[in-house]
Amino acid sequence: MFKKVMILFIIFLTISFSVFSQENSELNPGRLSFGFNFDFGVKLDMTASIEFGFLLYRSDTIGVRDFISLNVYMLNDKNGLENNILSLSNKIIIDGGNKFSTLNPYTYIEGGIGFFGNDNKELWTTPLTYSVGLGIGLEIFAVKNWSLFFDTGLNWQFINNEKDLIQKFTFGTRFYF
């Protein structure tokens, strides 16, 4: 499974850069963005997310963006149960401000709430699941309005009064307007 995902990722990356890559010295994306991404982790099966982001603050030294995501994923908990999770999360990204280049490093904090279901519980019933996380990332701008991003971080997932620490790796793309 991991090999297939990595092969698809490399194909996606190669095609994306060959189609969109060009010289652009004015890399300063817009105030709003739309994107999608995939997460992988030790206890995670593949996760798919769509996100909408907006600029909160920008100066010459710091930039703050807010991304609201709808996530669908499967998580294997400590008891061996496979939990299907549908969550809404919020990620605050802090980057280098107006000093955009092709490579834009950032750090983030995130939190979310969602529904989960497994063999013992229906998806749309309570209790809910919660997550809190932090990490670092890198956004690669091929053109002014489009980027690929990669980040890694730690998330604490709370399910049925149990806490799981999950290391995850995320890759995706964002379109700015």
Cβ count near 136 (within 10 Å): 12
> Looking up tokens 């669908």, which residue turns up?
72
Find the mean pLDDT for residues 150-176. Answer: 90
Find out whether 170 and 139 touch, Cβ atoms under 8 Å: no
Domain segments of the chain as ranges: 2-176
Per the confidence metrics, is the pTM higher than 0.85?
A: no
Helix, strand or coil for residue 99?
A: coil
**Does domain 2-176 sit in CATH 2.40.160.20?**
yes
pLDDT(148) > 70:
yes
Q: What is the pLDDT of residue 7?
A: 57
Per-residue model confidence as pLDDT tens digits over 4-40 = 555 555 555 555 444 444 334 344 567 899 999 998 8
The torsion angle over the Cα atoms of residues 107, 130, 37 and 90, rounded to 10 degrees, is -50
Rounded to an integer, what distance in angstroms lies between the CA atom of residue 61 and that of residue 97? 5
